[in-house]
Amino acid sequence: AAAAAAVAAGRARLGHPEPLASLMPTATHPTHSSQASCGPESSGSELALATPVPQMLQGLLGSDDEEQEDPKDYCKGGYYPVKIGDLFNGRYHVVRKLGWGHFSTVWLCWDIQRKRFVALKVVKSAGHYTETAVDEIKLLKCVRDSDPSDPKRETIVQLIDDFRISGVNGVHVCMVLEVLGHQLLKWIIKSNYQGLPVPCVKSI
């Protein structure tokens, strides 16, 4: 269900953007350690990029007007305090926030190894969230390792990488996924909280 929700907005994949130097913020890359702040330190205009994001990605980015996660959830067992400019796993450079949910926050990142944009999902650290994330990873790996010629394989978001990070709020599972369409919450709001239309659900 988690994988299916990720593709509700469509399957349009993104091409390779401009070179890294022309897209990345000028901020330095802080290291992840137990000394990190317990709460989010960036909001509003602080989230703006030092350089423009490609037009094809603009519609996916969150805005200051949208509802945000509760700061009180940045606590033990809760969210990891991701900041713009962070470098995850020595590879994924945080560019902008894409969205959030009760389970995780999701960030647009630049993969400095493969030179492409990816979506980084950072899960809350409580045990039951970790268990759910592990189950999701197992399912997505089954899809990733399936027959590449199967046309149905393309209807499920592709898992690129997974790892764990330690922070002041605990150990967090991270999933790196391909960047797809809008987050599900935007579609729910657009439908006046009445759920997705049946034709849209059937198209997943």
pLDDT tens figures, 163-192: 999 999 999 999 999 998 766 767 777 778
Domain spanning 2-202: which superfamily?
Phosphorylase Kinase; domain 1 (3.30.200.20)
In this predicted model, what pLDDT tens digit does every residue of 117-144 receive, in sequence order?
999 999 999 999 999 999 999 999 998 8
Q: Are 29 and 92 in contact (CB under 8 A)?
A: no
Q: Which pLDDT score is estimated for 56?
A: 54
Partners of residue 165 on adjacent β-strands: 172
Q: Which residues are annotated as a binding site?
A: 121
Start-to-end CA span in the chain (Å)? 11
Could you say which DSSP state residue 195 is in? -
What single string gives the DSSP state of each residue in 35-50?
TS-SS----GGGG--S
In this predicted model, what pLDDT tens digit does every residue of 38-75 receive, in sequence order?
334 333 334 334 434 565 555 555 555 567 899 999 99
Nearest to 173 by CA among 133, 118, 144, 135: 133
- How far, in Å, CA of 181 to CA of 197, rounded? 17
Q: Which residues are annotated as a binding site for ATP?
A: 121
Token reading at 132: 């759910």
Which helix (H) or strand (E) segment is 170 a member of? Answer: strand 170-177
Q: Across the chain, what does the average pLDDT equal?
A: 75
The amino acid present at 181, given as its one-letter code, is: G
| For residue 199, pLDDT beyond 80 | yes
Give whole-number Cα distances, 159 to 23, 24, 76, 125, in Å: 24, 23, 27, 20
- How far, in Å, CA of 126 to CA of 128, rounded? 6
Tell me the mean pLDDT in the region 75-98: 96
